[in-house]
Structure 1
Amino acid sequence: MACIEINGVPATADALHLPALNTYGHFTAMQVRDGRVRGLALHLGRLDASARELFGQGVDGERVREYIRGALDAAEVRDASVRVNVYWPDGDERATLMVTVRPPQTMAEGPKSLMSVPFVREVPHIKHLGSFGQNHYLTLAGRAGFDEALLTAPDGLVTEGAITNIAFWDGSSVVWPDAPSLLGMTMALLEPRLPSVRRRVTLADLPSYEAAFITNSQGFAPVRRIDDVEYAVDEELMKTVTAAYDAVEWDLI
């Protein structure tokens, strides 16, 4: 069951009219453990920067933290999946913040399979609402027996997963696709802590890589297959990724 608060108070039917009818906005999603989250400053920075771009004004990080703490207290939990949606109705002096608290989640164990699809998110650097295209292709991938969809541009350029970032291993470097995409929080935390490079990656390049893995707010997992291209799980690579991720400090909300 989800606990939903809007501007710091329990959501009412009237208050839910806004998110029900308005898909113009943005959000961030995080995993909270014992009232803490990895990369809190990145989450707050994402919300502020996206609000400035979409609405012309920023979002106060302390207000966001206050509302998250209040929603966790209302749900009587310390471990949770938390999502903060930002809307800005015309004429309002400040943003409307909707905080949703649900049970904690982790990425399902085991190597993942991805199906490439011809789709690129609009305004991809913003984690925006209204993700029909992503959900559509993720659904098609699931029906075809895959775990995730891999979004690609018309020329076969690899951009990102439907709900993940993807990285490839060339034997010496972790290669993050140099393409329009969302900088996910886990990618943002791992990239500077790994031997990372940004490089253009196309579907035709996939067989040249030794391994791959995906990341999102729930964690990370190795990739075993993209379409017909199969990858072995590089245990040493995954140990390195795990060590880098475990080294990230948890910030008190």
Structure 2
Amino acid sequence: MVFRIEIDGRPPTVDTLVHPALSNYGHFTAMQVRDGRTRGLDLHVARLDASTRELFGAGLDGDLVRARIRHALGDDVRDASVRVVVHWPEGAEAATLLVTVRPPAPPPSRAQSLKSVPYQRPAAHIKHLGGFGQTYYGLLAAREGFDDALLTAPDGTVAEGGITNIGFFDGASVVWPDAPCLHGITMQLLEPRLPAAGIGSRRGPVRLADVPAYRSVIVTNSHGVAPVERIDDMRLPVDEAFVKTAVETYESVPWDVI
């Protein structure tokens, strides 16, 4: 099992770890790599560039991002979970890229259960660091026997999972909550491809009280697509045909060479 960290293409030192250790102001993207490839590479690069511009006022070169990932993978790792973290230390002339390489994560193998919690991420459109609320509620959910938290507003409006996007199938279309949330890469890849598979896709408000009216629910993240069988004490139906189509649609997305 390989676990590797590089900062700007080099092994970390005490000096280069000081800023990441003391500051959680930054952002990241996470991807699954297979045979040196990942899905939605352009979307990952675009996410990193947009967030760097918003947080630090300057862009991030996509070729540099790809080069840093390739260097961290080296010649010995073809399959991995990769994370690219962007910091910009005070006084630095450019962003710092921290790349972690860990063992690959398998796709979801079972239906998920979610515990609704009264929390929404600040600046939810950014995949930012410092996710204390997500971690806190995710661990709380796990202690109560759930797989993850479901982030909701005080009025019960659903936003997103703790580490996922969530979609609600009404029998014709998937409704993605239009509350503030991160538009994950898997969601971005799946959403525009569903109509070609015979399933509509749209954004709209979803509240916890509305959930029983839906025919099936899915969550998506870099690990893949999984059905949801329970939210709180609500047991949810799983439309096997819909889930199969959603999973196959995502799995048909080509892998991009890094």
Query: What TM-score do you get using the length of structure 2 for normalisation?
Result: 0.96
Q: Give the Å deviation of 1:238.
A: 1.2
Q: Is residue 72–residue 99 contact of structure 2 (8 Å, CA) maintained in 1?
A: yes
In the TM superposition, structure 1's runs of 4+ consecutive aligned residues that sit over 4 Å from their partners are none
Cα separation, 1, equivalents of 2:145 and 2:86: 34
Cα displacement string for residues 83-125 of structure 1 (whole angstroms, at most 9, x for unaligned residues): 0000011221110000000000024411111000000000000
- CA displacement, residues 127-181 of structure 1 (integer Å, 9 cap, x when unaligned): 0000000000000000111011000011111000000000011010011011100
Match of 1:162 in 2: 162
Paired with 2:125 and 2:88, the residues of 1 have a C-alpha distance of 19
1:1-253 mapped onto 2 (5 Å cutoff): 1-73=2-74, 76-194=76-194, 195-253=200-258
Q: Provide the rounded CA distance (Å) in 1 between the counterparts of 2:107 and 2:249.
A: 17
CA RMSD of aligned residues (A): 1.0
Gaps of 5+ in 1: none
> How far does the alpha carbon of each residue in 1:32-88 deviate from its partner, in whole angstroms, 9 at most, with x for none?
0000000000000000000000000011000010010000007x2010000000001
In structure 2, what residue type is equivalent to 1:214?
V
Please, which moves more after superposition, 207-216 or 105-114? Answer: 105-114
Contact 2:116–2:231 (CA<8 Å) still a contact in 1?
yes
> C-alpha distance in 1, partners of 2:77/2:171?
42
* DSSP 3-state at the match of 2:248: helix
Q: Aligned partner of 2:106: which letter?
A: T
**SS of residue paired to 1:190:** helix
Whichever residue aligns with residue 227 of structure 2, its letter is: P
Please tell me whether the aligned partners of residues 171 and 215 of structure 2 are also in contact (alpha carbons under 8 angstroms). Answer: yes
Matched residue type, 1:58: G
Cα deviations by residue, 1:193-248 (Å, 9 ceiling, x for unpaired): 11201110001111111110101111111000101221122111012112211221
SS at match of 2:94: coil
Tell me the TM-score normalized by structure 1.
0.98
Q: Distance in 2 between matches of 1:17 and 1:218?
A: 31
CA distance, structure 2, for counterparts of residue 108 and residue 247 of structure 1: 16
Using the alignment, how far apart are the partners of 1:242 and 1:201 within structure 2?
A: 22
Unaligned runs of 5+ in 2: 195-199
